[in-house]
Structure formats: structure tokens, C-alpha cells
Amino acid sequence: MQNDGPDGPHFNWQEDVFRVLKAHDIKHVVYVPDAGHSTAIQLSEVDPDITAVVLTTEEEGIGYLAGAWLGGERGALLMQSSGVGNCINTLALQAMARFPLLMVVTMRGDWAEFNAWQNPMGQATEATLRSMGVMTWRADRPKDVEPLLHGAASMAFNGDSATAVLLGQRLIGEKKWVK
């Protein structure tokens, strides 16, 4: 779906995420449920060529994707920034085994956050990933999602690298506390 916005014509960034995953032959989408990833999750769940797996916790996804790669298939981990903290120790697996790891992270705690518990990890996400050797890029405008995710996927799968695209909270929109 194409929309014309202040940055010019662009497709729906949430659909862009799924399109890029398909273009890079992703066969496994692993995730902890998240509203920011809901479109990619729903499209993955109905795609007959993709195995969509809901995780109990985000670090399980790293081991799952290592196994998928050993089995000759590509995958991606979709998570929220608060889940990055759960993955720190498990990121050592990628650093030592050097398999492709593509992560798409919806940010919390970096703009207009209503839940103060999201702020510490939201503020530390990018630096934490980088300190673990993960290459990161940040998208705050819809038109940036597709090229940044394409570049991250190319670098992950062509170079056995760990990469992450951070989808900024301004991109996702302000969340409101609802009673």
C-alpha cells in the first residue's frame, strides 16, 4: 500500500518489513508478540513458505535461528527493545559461531514513552547491541525502513554477521496508557 507523506511517496513501512524478509528468502520468522511487528507477524503466519514461531523469550530466537542456518535456511528475529536485554548472553553464540543473525527491533522508551519501565533498556538498546558486536541501523522515517532492512539482511547473510534494524518509536507512534 503506497502512501504519500511528508517524505514523499512510500509504501507502508510495516508491509516493507515483510517484503524485505521475503526478498531475502527468509523461511523462519521468530518473535515475541509485539504490536509494532503485528503486520509482519500476521503475514508470516499465513505465508506457506515461512515458519512463524512464537517464542517464550527473545533469546530462544537466537538458538532457533542458529539451528535454522545449520539446516540451510534463513530466519529473522522480531522483538521489542526490552527483549534485547534478554539476549545479551545468548549473543555470544553468534559471536563465537559466526552465523547470520538478522534482528528487527521495535523501540520503546526512546520517545513519548508512557511506561517508565521501558526507558532504561530503550535508552541502552543500540549501545548494548553494538557492544556485543551487532551492527545496527535506526529507522525513524517510513521511507528508511526498506533500504536499511535490505542492507542489514544483505550484510547478515553475505557476511555471517549479526545485524539489527531499530524501528524508532516515532515511526511506530505514541502509545497511550489505557485503563
Tens-level pLDDT at each residue, the chain (179 residues): 344 444 444 459 999 999 999 999 999 999 999 999 999 999 999 999 999 999 999 999 999 999 999 999 999 999 999 999 999 999 999 999 999 999 999 999 988 999 999 999 999 999 999 999 999 999 999 999 999 999 999 999 999 999 999 999 999 888 777 77
113 close to 119: Cβ distance less than 8 angstroms:
yes
Question: Which cell numbers hold the place of 62?
Answer: 537466537
Question: Which cell numbers hold the place of 2?
Answer: 503506497
pTM to 2 decimal places: 0.91
**Nearest Cα to Cα of residue 82 among 62, 109, 56:** 109
